[in-house]
């Protein structure tokens, strides 16, 4: 059973989410503020988090940072505001996706399922290439680990998925649309801002000089290419 933590201070939205999620056999916990949410997350270990960014006691982005200190649980953000800065900030802090309020329940449930699916561990594959080495870091595709300078680099599930798609297509251009569909799901294709944010994160974590990337190369207007 999939356990969902809903963090939202508007009672009508909480009620609608709880009813719809329980009807689909999810187990649901709800928190109406950030402090309660962080406590509940630690106690209940949810499989996915739905987080409103506008909470009474703290900014939702602070909740994301608090969670990311110890868990890679997928986080789906609810954003009432239309500021793309806020969404980018939330993605940057480690959220996996966002839905803008007012949202359709079907859309939210689809994004929730996609976020859970992305986080599911994949069993041992039949891929022949399992390790890719560069001068700066090593990617172990089988173990889903990246090592840089003898230390494991912590990647969120979304960062990992993006890295994996690029590394498996090493030396080849992967289009923006292809990346979005592989990593976020088939209904995506135009959200190039997601790619900019996540590529910046991967570069920050893995490139020797993130502003002059050698491995995660942008093909302007086209997509991205991994060079080993």
| Shortest distance (Å) from residue 215 CB to Ca ion | 40
Residues of span 40-59 touching Ca ion by CB under 5 A: 52, 54
> Which pairing describes strands 48-52 and 3-7: parallel, antiparallel, or unpaired?
parallel
| Shortest distance (Å) from residue 54 CB to Ca ion | 4
| Shortest distance (Å) from residue 24 CB to Ca ion | 23
Using CB under 5 A as the binding rule, whether residue 33 contacts Ca ion is answered as no
Please, which residue, 13 or 73, has the CB nearer to Ca ion? 13
Please, which residue, 63 or 166, has the CB nearer to Ca ion? 63
| Shortest distance (Å) from residue 49 CB to Ca ion | 15
Please, which residue, 65 or 117, has the CB nearer to Ca ion? 65
Q: Which of 215, 45, 51, 220 is nearest to 137 (CA)?
A: 215
Residues of span 54-83 touching Ca ion by CB under 5 A: 54
| Shortest distance (Å) from residue 57 CB to Ca ion | 11
Q: Which residues contact 190 (CB under 8 A, 6 or more apart)?
A: 177, 180
Of all residues in this chain, which one has the CB nearest to Ca ion in the complex?
54
Please, which residue, 101 or 145, has the CB nearer to Ca ion? 101
Please, which residue, 9 or 191, has the CB nearer to Ca ion? 9
Query: Can you name the residues that pair with 145 across neighbouring β-strands?
Result: 140
Residues of span 1-30 touching Ca ion by CB under 5 A: 9
| Shortest distance (Å) from residue 8 CB to Ca ion | 6
Query: Can you name the residues that pair with 77 across neighbouring β-strands?
Result: 51, 98
- Whether the upstream peptide bond of residue 102 has omega within 30° of 0, thus cis, is yes
Task: Please work out the total of residues on this chain that contact Ca ion, with binding judged by CB under 5 A.
Answer: 3
Eight-class DSSP state of 53: S
Are 53 and 28 in contact, with CB atoms under 8 Å apart? Answer: no
Sign of CA dihedral 102, 106, 107, 113: positive
Please, which residue, 54 or 189, has the CB nearer to Ca ion? 54
> Which pairing describes strands 137-140 and 145-148: parallel, antiparallel, or unpaired?
antiparallel
Residues of span 102-161 touching Ca ion by CB under 5 A: none
CA distance 41 to 8: 14
Q: Which of 43, 11, 10, 6 is nearest to 26 (CA)?
A: 6
Residues lying near Ca ion in the complex (CB under 5 A) are found at 9, 52, 54
């Amino acid at each position: 059973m999939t356990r969902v933590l809903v963090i939202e201070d508007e009672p009508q939205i909480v009620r609608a989410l709880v009813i719809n999620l329980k009807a689909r056999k999810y187990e649901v916990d709800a928190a109406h503020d950030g402090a309660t949410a962080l406590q509940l997350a630690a106690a209940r270990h949810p499989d996915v988090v739905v987080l409103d960014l506008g909470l009474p006691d703290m900014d939702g982005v602070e909740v994301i940072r608090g969670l990311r200190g110890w868990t890679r649980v997928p986080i789906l953000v609810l954003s009432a505001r239309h500021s793309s800065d806020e969404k980018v900030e939330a993605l940057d802090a480690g959220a996996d996706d966002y839905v803008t309020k007012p949202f359709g329940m079907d859309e939210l449930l689809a994004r929730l399922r996609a976020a859970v699916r992305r986080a599911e561990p994949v069993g041992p594959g039949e891929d022949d290439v399992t390790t890719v080495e560069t001068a700066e870091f090593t990617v172990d595709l089988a173990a889903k680990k990246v090592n840089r300078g003898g230390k494991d680099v912590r990647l969120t599930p979304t960062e990992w998925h993006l890295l994996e798609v690029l590394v498996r297509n090493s030396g080849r251009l992967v289009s923006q649309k292809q990346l979005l569909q592989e990593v976020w799901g088939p209904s995506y294709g135009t959200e190039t801002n997601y790619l900019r944010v996540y590529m910046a994160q991967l570069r920050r974590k893995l490139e020797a000089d993130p502003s002059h990337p050698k491995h995660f190369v942008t093909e302007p207007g086209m997509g991205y290419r991994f060079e080993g």
